[in-house]
Chains A and B, each alone.
Chain A
Amino acid sequence: MTTQTSTARITYSRTIGVAAMEGRGFYYPWAGAVGSDGKIYILGRGSDSDPRGVRVTVLNMEEEYFGTFGSFGTGTGQAIWNAGIAIDSKQRLFTSDEHMNRIMVRTLDGELLDTWGETGTDPGQLNGPNGITFNSNEELLVSDHLNGRIQKFTTEGKHLATFGEPGSGDGQLTLPWGVSVDAADNVYVADWGNDRIVKFDADGVFLANLGSPGRNDGEFNAPSDVFVDPDGYIYVADWGNQRIQVLDSEGTFVQLHRGESTLSKWAQEFLDTNTEENAARNTANLDLDLEFNTDDPHEQSAHIEKYFWGPTSITMDNDGHLLVVDSNRHRVQVFDIASSD
């Protein structure tokens, strides 16, 4: 596996967050979105045996903590399997629940404004909504993953369009996950089951497949998310390969990154107050050079703490930082983006 190219579009900046079953921190964070005031909203998936992680944690890049909202359950305002998050221009927070087949709309303070979504396979119905994003017309694109398609809704939940269908051919999708748009509203879908990114135009007409199955440069294994920056660079959370890949606007490979997390402010504060654990950690070699009995990078990531382990989501803040939600490590790795000049 290639580790790094000389063309660096992204460079590691910092890590934010720490593992926490409740309160300040994350417990299997799943996706993130950034408000106009720079606050970061991290949607938690939690554990099936301990659902306290089903919440939204609010912080900023300096790791100021602003609280949490949301909880596990089937009641009003609750979620079972949090999946996707997006913020509209009116600063309303949209989240998807791929178990309950519904979209919840809140204020950025967590007050529930609306819930919509109907279970089914007909146009406008949902079966496993996960990745969500807004296009420039303020229309919500939903990755309707068990139906193998993308659906477009108004912010009130009125169905506008459906495109894609289950399968592996052109314009077809298998268990799609994340979805994003570029400046021209072209739609990019993390086609998880087909190990590729599928590009549609703004009307849902198939344009291209990017990448192919594998572990080499430009190849993907079960990508979970995709993000397109204002310059047209495409960032892929190559989830099964435990890495981030950068493609140019034509889909040509530019760079990959395995992650290089350092201690976040919250992580350092934990260690500062747990001196015995801190002392033991300081004697440990956390940058191991091991031989593994499998080529699955999952095992490397399970052993080497700085690597991504389950990167589920990519987004960008208002200052152009790339935020990668690193789910199994309960943190967000932050990257600087090089100037296009």
Chain B
Amino acid sequence: MTSTDVQLMAHLMRRAGFGTTRQKLDELVETGYDETVEELLDAVSHPSRLTDNLIRRYHPEYSGMMGNQSAGGNWMYRMISTDAPLREKVGLMWHGIFATGYAKLANGKVLHDQIRMFERHGMGSFKTLLIELSKDPAMIMWLDNSENHNGSVNENYGRELLELFSMGVGNYTEKDVKEAARAFTGWTFGNTEYMTLKSMRDSVWPYGRLSFHFEYKEDDHDNGEKEFLGHTGNLNGEDIVDIICKQPATAAFLSRHIYSFFVADEPPVPEWPYKKPVDPAAIEALSKVYFDSDYSITEMLRFLFKSDFFKSEDARYKRVKSPAELMAGVLRLTEEFDRPKIDMNPTNLQTSYMGQWLLNPPSVEGWHWGTEWIDSGALVERVNFASERLGNLESPGVQSLVDRILASSDSLTAEQMVTSALDELSISAVSDKTRSALVDFAEAQLSQSNGDSNGEAERLQVANVLKLVGATPEFQRA
């Protein structure tokens, strides 16, 4: 096992997961890189430690999901406890692209159902995913397809399907938008009037929320001839998705999203028509896999994780962690939610202070990722959150980290303490400036030793160094 192996594995686990401990990294390196990639891709077979039953038992609102925080809290539990982190990461990616929010729906359960749909289909065929998305009641209500009728077309879903979900602007015409919308007439949710009214009124009466279900209304579907992207016929929604998936623009658009999420931050999507990709060759290679694999997301990810452009040292720490990724990574380290606790709700809400309220995005465009996560207010929240949690000696995970750092040497110097702390948090490299600041801080900690013989002072010193590591640019990035 070389340090290069460990660093590469740490990179993989930051991107395909939420990071991990040095102890776990050593096990994964023994397993091997390619085998670990396969295990990550084989996501469905791994159960979550905190089961649905366990979460529902303690938090009934995480079961009934009437309010605007429960579906996000439920998801955070899964992110921090799953043995299949890639499935949750892919879910986060799709939530960012197909951003759907509580503000209009007033129903947490329908959003939860959408995320579960991403978990089922998010790593399969992109074509299947787009069809499921088109049938998803949350999306139907979010983009008004329940108002898209034969003879009275609402273009909202047809437009966003092309602009934000598959091809990107500049690759279709206004007529294509209209024809796509016509093809999706009749794609709605059941009990349309009642469910819409309950959402508009934010009604929980008489007996809480009702879950939505998809319904295709043949008598409200426009069966006339349509012309879409050069194809003519009595096209229905499935035909539109089929044509979209065949487009090179779709392959490039999807590849750029996947690259941006897993390799290096791209500029915000609205800038894509005017700015070239960070790595055009990578986008081209991913696009080829897309077509060769019949639109398989899993095959694109397999290729990506095994590619040189992903493994390159230049790719490391090139992504700013989204607030949800940051929180999930920290809470996995601290292990403070070994079972459901009442603290989850206020904890999860802190992602909103960092700029990302899960399942409540600012608009249909979702969030602008990358360095736009960082502004002065959000940075303070991010640093405070990571530092407070990583320095809390009451958390079992922090206790384990401190134990291992203290065991790394009989008498830790400041240098050793910093090296070991970074190692335990799987941070393979920091800038000279960061290291220097950390070592200065550790030296100051050590100089305050009071001869305490029970070891509590030493444990606090190490915890304080972990706190500061949580504030470093390297920890805030992936």
Whether chains A and B associate is yes
Quick one: closest A residue to B205, CB to CB?
A: A270
Q: How far is the CB of B402 from chain A (nearest CB, A)?
A: 24
Given contacts A302-B109, A309-B64, contact A49 B70 (CB under 8 A): yes
Within 8 A of B (CB), among A234-288: 239-240, 261, 263-264, 266-267, 270-271, 274, 276-277, 280-281, 283-286, 288
Chain A residue total in the interface (Cβ 8 A): 52
Q: Is the CB of B57 within 8 A of A222?
A: yes
Tell me how far the C-beta of A268 lies from the nearest C-beta in chain B, rounded to whole angstroms: 8
- Which one of B190-198, B247-255, B265-273 is at the A interface? B190-198
Q: Evaluate whether A28 and B64 lie within 8 angstroms (CB atoms) in the complex, with A271-B206, A296-B52, A330-B208 already known.
A: yes
Q: Please, how many angstroms separate the alpha-carbon atoms of A177 and B61 in the complex?
A: 18
Chain B residues within 8 Å of A321, by CB: none
**By the criterion CB–CB under 8 Å, are A49 and B342 in contact?**
no
Say whether B211 contacts A45, CB under 8 Å: no
A310 B206 Cβ-Cβ under 8 A: no
CB B200 to nearest CB in A, in angstroms, measures 10
Judged by a CB distance under 8 angstroms, whether A135 is at the interface is no
Residue interface mask A216-232, B partner, CB < 8 A = 1: 00000110100000000
- Residues 289 to 314 of chain A near chain B (Cβ within 8 Å): 290, 293, 296, 298-299, 302-303, 305, 309-310
Whether A28 pairs with B207 at a CB distance below 8 angstroms is no
The reply to whether B191 and A285 form a contact with Cβ atoms under 8 Å apart is yes
Q: B60: which of A264, A286, A299, A327 is its contact (CB, 8 Å)?
A: A327
- Min Cβ gap B193→A in Å is 5
CA–CA, A296 and B51, complex, Å: 12
Q: Which A residues touch B201, using CB under 8 A?
A: 277
Shortest CB distance A227–B (Å): 19
Asked whether A264 and B206 contact (CB < 8 A) given A80-B342, A285-B191, A303-B211, the answer is yes
Q: Is A328's beta carbon under 8 Å from chain B?
A: yes
Q: Is the CB of A305 within 8 A of B53?
A: no
B203 proximity list for chain A (CB < 8 A): 277
Question: How far, in Å, is B113 (CB) from chain A's closest CB?
Answer: 9
Query: With the chains together, A305 CA to B193 CA distance in Å?
Result: 17
- CA A177 to CA B342, docked complex, whole Å: 18
The reply to whether A49 and B67 contact each other, CB–CB distance below 8 Å, is yes
The reply to whether B52 and A47 contact each other, CB–CB distance below 8 Å, is no
Interface bits B197-218 vs A (CB < 8 Å: 1, else 0)? 1100101111110110100000
A56 to chain B, nearest CB (A): 16
User: A288 vs B198: C-alpha distance in the bound complex, in angstroms?
Assistant: 18
A86 within 8 A of B: no
Partner of A329, one of B53, B191, B195, B207: B207
Closest Cβ neighbor of A20 among chain B residues: B205
Q: Interface 1/0s, chain B 314-351, versus A by CB < 8 A?
A: 00000000000000000000000000001011000000
Instruction: Enumerate A194-234 residues with CB–CB distance to B below 8 Å.
Output: 221-222, 224
Contacts of A285 in B (CB 8 A): 190-191
Partner of A328, one of B63, B191, B194, B206: B63
B197 and A277 form a contact (CB under 8 A): yes
Given contacts A47-B60, A309-B64, A299 and B206 within 8 Å (CB-CB):
no
Chain B residues within 8 Å of A288, by CB: 190, 213
B60 and A305 within 8 A (CB) = no
Asked if B288 is an interface residue, CB under 8 A from chain A, the answer is: no
- In Å, the complex CA distance between A227 and B206 comes to 28
The answer on a CB contact under 8 Å between B70 and A47 is yes
CB-CB under 8 A from B59, the residues of chain A are 48
Q: Is the CB–CB distance between A328 and B60 below 8 Å?
A: yes
Q: Which chain B residues border A94 with CB–CB below 8 Å?
A: none
Separation of A285 and B210 alpha carbons in the complex (Å): 12
User: B120 an interface residue at 8 Å Cβ cutoff?
Assistant: yes
Q: Please report the C-alpha to C-alpha distance between residue A330 and residue B63 in the assembled complex, in whole angstroms.
A: 13
Which residue of the partner chain, among A48, A175, A261, A264, contacts B344 with CB atoms under 8 Å?
Answer: A48
Q: With A49-B345, A222-B53 in contact, do A281 and B194 touch (Cβ < 8 Å)? A: yes
A47-B70, A80-B342 known; A329-B194 Cβ under 8 A: no
Q: Select the residue from B60, B70, B203 with max chain A CB neighbours within 10 A.
A: B60
A50 within 8 A of B: yes
Q: List 21 A-B contacts (CB under 8 A).
A: A19-B204, A28-B61, A47-B66, A48-B69, A48-B345, A267-B207, A270-B206, A276-B197, A277-B203, A280-B193, A284-B194, A286-B210, A288-B190, A298-B63, A299-B211, A302-B109, A327-B64, A328-B64, A329-B207, A329-B208, A331-B206
Beyond A19-B206, A177-B57, A330-B204: 9 further Cβ-contacts under 8 Å? A28-B60, A50-B67, A266-B206, A270-B205, A277-B197, A277-B203, A284-B195, A310-B64, A331-B207
Chain B residues within 8 Å of A, Cβ to Cβ: 52-53, 56-61, 63-64, 66-70, 73, 109, 120, 190-191, 193-195, 197-198, 201, 203-208, 210-211, 213, 342, 344-345
Query: Footprint of B on A, CB under 8 Å?
Result: 18-19, 28, 30, 45, 47-50, 80-81, 99, 175, 177, 192, 221-222, 224, 239-240, 261, 263-264, 266-267, 270-271, 274, 276-277, 280-281, 283-286, 288, 290, 293, 296, 298-299, 302-303, 305, 309-310, 327-331
- Per CB-CB distance, the 7 closest pairs between chain A and chain B, nearest first, are A267-B206, A47-B61, A284-B194, A284-B191, A302-B211, A328-B64, A48-B345
